């Protein structure tokens, strides 16, 4: 998935939002190739499309509507990232915790 969030002109207050993914949208619209590219295991291996779908269905079963595309500590699983006052340092901090293990 492309993550382009640089189109909006920002006023003085920098408030950044993480991208989130609609779980239903992903299940309905993403092709196998997109699923493979978008989901990885905690150890960095790509998920198969089947594994990715299982993860998404597990999240749905928890009542979630959206999942974060990157680690977010202010995330609402119904509405997405609630914003961060400090500008996000776009460093390669790495994913702390992905959605969850398939088993
Ligand atoms: Zn966030």
Strand 80-81 and strand 75-76: the pairing is antiparallel
CA 17–ligand 1 middle distance (angstroms): 5
| pLDDT band, residue 102 (cuts 50/70/90) | low
Q: Give the Å distance between the CA of 8 and the centre of ligand 1.
A: 17
In 31-98, where does DSSP find H-type helix?
A: 32-38, 49-61
Q: Cα(75) to centroid of ligand 1, in Å?
A: 6
CB 65 within 8 A of CB 78: yes
Domain locations along the chain: 20-64
Burial class (CB in 10 A: 0-12, 13-18, 19+), 22: middle
pTM of the shown model: 0.65
32-63 tens-digit pLDDT:
999 999 899 999 999 999 999 999 999 999 99
Strand, helix or coil for residue 66: strand
Distance 24 CA to ligand 1 centre (A): 20
């Amino acid at each position: 998935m492309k993550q382009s969030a640089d189109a909006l002109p920002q006023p003085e207050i920098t408030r950044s939002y993480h991208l989130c993914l609609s779980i239903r949208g992903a299940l309905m619209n993403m092709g196998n190739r997109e699923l493979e590219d978008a989901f990885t295991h905690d150890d960095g291996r790509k998920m198969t499309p089947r594994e990715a779908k299982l993860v998404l269905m597990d999240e749905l079963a928890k009542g979630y509507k959206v999942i974060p595309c990157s680690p977010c500590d202010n995330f609402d699983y119904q509405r997405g990232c609630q914003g961060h006052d400090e500008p996000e340092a776009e460093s390669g901090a790495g994913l702390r915790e992905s959605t969850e293990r398939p088993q």
